[in-house]
Amino acid sequence: MEQEKIRLQDPLLKSCDEPSDAMQQRRSTQAITHRGDQTKYPENTMLAFEAAFEAGSDAIETDLHLTRDGVVVMSHDATLKRCFGVEKKIIDCDYSYIQTLRTLKEPHLPLPSLKEVVEYVRDKDIWLLLDIKVDNVADDVMRLTAETIKSVHDGGAEYWREKIVLGCWTLKFLPLCEKYLPGFPIVHIGFSTTYAREFLEHTNVGFNLFWPILQTTAGKDLAKEAKDAGRKVYVWTVNEEETMKWAIENDSIDGVCTDDPVKFLELTDGYGEIWLDAPRSMQVACYTFVWNWIATVVFIIYQWRYGKNLAGLGVIS
């Protein structure tokens, strides 16, 4: 990657004539910008994605939902309320209506389609991590996502295997990924080590996990097994400086989802010079304790909200 080459040639690396393998590995921790650069623009908008690329991000993480007429659009939420102030579900709206909306947050931007995003990254040195939301009809969203991706480049799906990673919350999506986008890399997105372990039984599946669980013994063991098996391990969502430093130093972590790619890349570029020998505070430990409790509450809510559907998807019995 051109951006990666630029970072690796940074003068901060010249404290050693030949940086150690450990330093090179840690410095290569990828910046995966979460819903675009939210420090500058509203989440999941084209300007946020463009800002992520311009900042030097290795990847963009974004979310998929379907409109009523079958257009794949980029939205974390199933509804339009939080970002657009509209009390409607995306699945109940046609894309022509969606196009008229603007974000509540300035500078009031439209909701892009997957086709727009794929066209934007087509010839750029950046890849996409697609978070496929479980409140879509699984077969519909996978089929339409595949059709969209294949329509953008003459090389079809073959071209995109190096540029798109499919993010799946549940096992139900794995055969659909293979059916519609065979050979594409996959990561399990989640916050349960118990459920994540079921994905170790499937080849070509890495992990994108809620970062505090990698602070636990179960999380560390899972990450080690994943790395030993040649799987990618990413974490979400890391915005505090101390937690960023922890992730960069962690040999098990390949990439970090963050809302602030500029801060993260400044830290990776400063590794070994600015903060390598700085004492670690209790901040990360405190965050871990708090966020593990939050993760437990979120899982309970998640199970309550999607319980009936998750039982059918194999998430709970």
* Tens-digit pLDDT profile for residues 223-252: 999 999 999 999 999 999 999 999 999 999
Is residue 63 very low, low, confident or very high in pLDDT (cuts 50, 70, 90)? very high
Instruction: For the domain covering 2-281, report its CATH number.
Output: 3.20.20.190
What's the whole-number mean pLDDT along residues 121-125?
96
* Tens-digit pLDDT profile for residues 165-202: 999 999 999 999 999 999 999 999 999 999 999 999 99
- Specify the pLDDT at position 25: 42
- Specify the pLDDT at position 22: 43
Residue at token pair 């979310």: 63
Instruction: Tell me the average pLDDT of the chain.
Output: 85
Asked whether the beta carbons of 271 and 27 are under 8 A apart, the reply is yes
Question: At residue 268, does pLDDT exceed 70?
Answer: yes
Name the residue ranges covered by the structural domains of the chain.
2-281
- Specify the pLDDT at position 27: 61
Q: What is the DSSP string of 207-249?
A: EEEEGGGGGSHHHHHHHHHHHHTT--EEEE---SHHHHHHHHH
Least confident segment among 84-88, 277-281, 282-286: 277-281
- Report how far residue 190's alpha carbon sits from residue 24's, in angstroms, rounded to the nearest whole number: 28
Is residue 209 very low, low, confident or very high in pLDDT (cuts 50, 70, 90)? very high
- Specify the pLDDT at position 8: 31
What predicted TM-score, i.e. pTM, was given to this entire model?
0.83
